[in-house]
Amino acid sequence: MSHSPVYFGPFQLDLADRRLSRGGDTVDLNARYMDALILLVAAEGKLVAKERFMDEVWRGVPVTDEALTQAIRTLRRALGDSAATPRFIETVPKHGYRFIAPVGALVSTDRIQLSDPAEMTGGREEALHSAFIRQTLAGCTGALVAGALVGLLYGFIGSAQPTGGGGSAASILLVLVLVSMFSAGVAGFGIAAGIAAAATFIRPATIYWTVTGGALGGLAMGAFANLLGNDLFRLLFGKAPGVFAGALEGLILGGTIGLAVLYAGKGAASRLAVAALLGLFAGMLITLVDGRMMAGSLQELVSAFPTSRYRLDGIGSAFGEDGLGPIGRAVTAGFEGAVFSVGIVWAMRRAAARTNSGYRSRDQSRSAPNV
């Protein structure tokens, strides 16, 4: 690779002087981390295996994988990058890392052509907005799928109760699925938008911003949905039900899912397991602070309207409770939190993987030498 400066995003990497800069200001990196960055950039989008880092950066010095992890973490911090939605350094689980950003230099053995910085900046802004939209829509889609699954389960439980006919059972199932999908979709949109905004537009993207983004998104959408629901019931039925899901639940779920998106990245199985465990924890925590998830909210509605044909007694009876008691609420809340978290994390990570794949394809098309 030529020793002429190369460009990626707002950064310039001077290979000859071993200097990384942004807007003329030097970005401090120690010699070891600079070696790692140069190795990644020089690979031109190809995978750099862990063994190659050990051979060429640490030069055979015995170190653990944690040293490499720390180096990549430091580079991401210097570049304002995020492991959850990477724009520069992508993790290839169990294998190594790949530099995925378009490099503004087309290098051959005797010449180098630099991209127009203004064009690069405009393209970067467009890419950021596109990534934000994709991540938000993906998270909302995952939430809708989770809502459909929860609605189907509770719909089947409700339709199994004596209701007075197959038509009523089918209606209960349909209504529960639609209501659950709507509730999950609204909450998922807010949470995904908050996480995506923090990971895409705030630099450096840290755990605090990602968790805060998810929490604020969930808080806003939860408060909005709760207010809208209460007003709707007052308008149609003259009274509002008791406590049901709202701002508090959105805050807890959003922050927890932000954490799950950030750390659930070591492979598909472990990713979903981490998301499920964190979602389970969030659901249980909501119950401990006397909050409501979907089942708890439905129980409040049933209590407010005693003539309702829908019942969740089957869940409570499984735990020896009359109706949906504390144990039933805790179990259902944990289940809902796990499904909701898995749906959003799976969808957002999948969208990020597709985005990174698109970046690599674009890099390959740009890397054809000019003759």
Bridging pattern class, strands 6-8 and 11-14:
antiparallel
Environment class of residue 91 by beta-carbon count within 10 Å: exposed (0-12), middle (13-18) or buried (19+)? middle
Q: How many CB atoms lie within 10 A of CB 105?
A: 22
pLDDT of residue 312: 74
Q: pLDDT over 70 for what percent of the chain?
A: 76
Strand partners, 96: 49, 92
Q: Is the pLDDT of residue 179 over 50?
A: yes
pLDDT digits (tens, 9 = 90+) for 266-323: 556 777 888 999 999 999 999 999 888 888 887 777 777 776 767 777 777 777 777 7
Calculate the alpha carbon distances from 163 to 200, 245, 307, 311, 322 in Å: 49, 26, 11, 9, 19
Residues 211-250: b if buried by 16+ CB within 10 A, e if exposed: bbbbbbbbbbbbbbbbeebeeebeeeeeebbeebbbbbbb
Residue 105: pLDDT over 70: no
What pLDDT is attached to residue 216? 95
Q: Are 178 and 151 in contact (CB under 8 A)?
A: yes
Where residue 188 falls among pLDDT bands split at 50, 70, 90?
very high
The share of the chain scoring above pLDDT 90, in percent, equals 26
Distance between CA atoms of residues 183 and 292, nearest Å: 13
Q: Among 30-39, 264-273, 280-289, 333-342, which stretch is predicted with the lowest mean pLDDT?
A: 264-273
Three-class SS of residue 90? strand
Cis before 102? omega within 30: no
Q: Which one of 40-44, 139-143, 180-184, 269-273 scores highest in mean pLDDT?
A: 139-143
Give the model's pLDDT for residue 4. 63
> Which residue's entry shows tokens 């969808």?
347
Q: Which of the residue ranges 35-39, 64-68, 303-307 has the most confident prediction, judged by mean pLDDT?
A: 35-39
Angle at 160 between CA 173 and CA 179, to 5 degrees: 25
Query: What is this structure's pTM?
Result: 0.63
Q: Is the pLDDT of residue 250 over 50?
A: yes
Helix (H, G, I), strand (E, B) or coil at 207: helix
Q: What is the residue-wise DSSP string for 263-329?
A: H--S-HHHHHHHHHHHHHHHHHHHHHTT---HHHHHHHHHHH-TT-S---HHHHHHTT-SSS-HHHH
> Closest by alpha carbon to 279, among 195, 207, 341?
341
Q: What is the CATH number of domain 6-115?
A: 1.10.10.10
Report the range of poorest mean pLDDT among 129-138, 149-158, 170-179, 354-363: 354-363
pLDDT, mean over the chain? 79
| Strand 48-49 with 89-92, pairing | unpaired
pLDDT value of residue 366: 42
Q: Mean pLDDT across the stretch 164-181? A: 75
Contact indicator for 213, 190 with CB cutoff of 8 Å = no
Q: For residue 368, what pLDDT is reported?
A: 42
Q: CATH 1.10.10.10: which residues of the chain?
A: 6-115
* Burial class for 119, CB neighbours closer than 10 Å (0-12, 13-18, 19+): exposed
Q: Which residue has the higher pLDDT, 163 or 354?
A: 354
| Nearest alpha carbon to residue 357 among 90, 84, 41, 38 | 90
How does 126-149 read in b/e, with b if 16+ C-beta sit within 10 Å? ebeeebbebbbbbbbbbbbbbbbb
pLDDT at 167 over 80: no
Is the pLDDT at 193 greater than 90? The verdict is yes
In the predicted structure, residue 32 carries a pLDDT above the cut 50? yes
Q: How far is CA 42 from the centre of its chain?
A: 30
State residue 215's pLDDT score: 94
Weakest mean pLDDT among 39-48, 75-84, 224-233, 272-281: 224-233
For the segment 227-253, the average pLDDT, to the nearest whole number, is 76
Residue 242 pLDDT greater than 70, yes or no: no
CB 221 within 8 A of CB 192: no
Structural contact between residues 220 and 190, judged by C-beta atoms closer than 8 angstroms: yes
58: exposed, middle or buried (Cβ count in 10 Å: 0-12, 13-18, 19+): middle
pLDDT of residue 298: 79
> Residue 185's pLDDT is what?
92
CA 345 to chain CA mean position, Å: 5
Question: Would you list the DSSP string of 52-87?
Answer: HHHHHTSTT----HHHHHHHHHHHHHHHT--SSS-S
CA distances from 129 to 123, 133, 254, 265 (A): 10, 6, 21, 23
How do residues 199-230 score in pLDDT, each as one tens digit? 777 765 567 888 999 999 999 998 888 777 77
What is the band of 9 on the pLDDT scale with cuts at 50, 70, 90?
Answer: confident
pLDDT tens column, 150-164: 989 888 887 766 555
